Structure 1
Amino acid sequence: MAFYRMLENPRVDIIAHPLSELKPFGVRDEDLPLREISDRIAVSNKIMEFNVRYNGIDEQVIKQAKDRGVQFLISSDSHSVKDLILNSRKVKEITGKGGFRIVDIRQYLLNKKKPLAR
């Protein structure tokens, strides 16, 4: 599966709403090995983006990954001022609930084990 190859790719740091793109194709959460997916995200040491614009399949993986200590980048995915206002409230609501290990991107990049070959 291409998703698993992405998790193994050293050039990939952030997994952006990984499964929500499958929803328009009729893929349902019960069609996917969600526990295996969240386990693989956890051992990959990648950052998972929690994008408040998307929901659905990702929510179960997010809950499972959160329990495994995965680092999260919570984003509003705003494309307009209206989106920014609405989605920023959602970000505050999510982060206010706690339990997420929110990543400091700058520190993450400074701590990366190997610089990318150019």
Structure 2
Amino acid sequence: MTGICCVPTLLATIAEDLPNLRFLLVSGEACPQDLVARWHRPWRRMINAYGPTEATVTASWTVLEPGKPVTIGQPLPTYTMAYSAKTAGRWPRRGPSAKSASAGPGLAIGYVNLSGI
């Protein structure tokens, strides 16, 4: 096996290293830094993909490396992402109290101008 795409919770259950694994994509939930450290290898590319339900599967991505913060990264070329704080007057803000908004061809119909989400 040379590639895996899974949620971090599933990856955490794999007890042994997979030496032939060259590509590892995690998404669906936050990836803990200790999992990045455990699975990182110089020959392996580890990617974190992020996408809110409204934007189908993936709207942004980043390469994961030990010792660096795990973030949702940069938008895909066809997406725009904006970040705002839950409290007014702080734009842009990142972190656990931030909200994100995305726009692009994968945005599901019916979410534009829909309040309350």
TM-score normalised over the length of structure 2: 0.35
Q: Which has the higher contact order (CA 8 A, sep 6+)?
A: 1
| Larger helix fraction of residues | 1
Of structures 1 and 2, the larger Rg is shown by: 2
TM-score normalised over the length of structure 1: 0.34
| Larger strand fraction of residues | 2
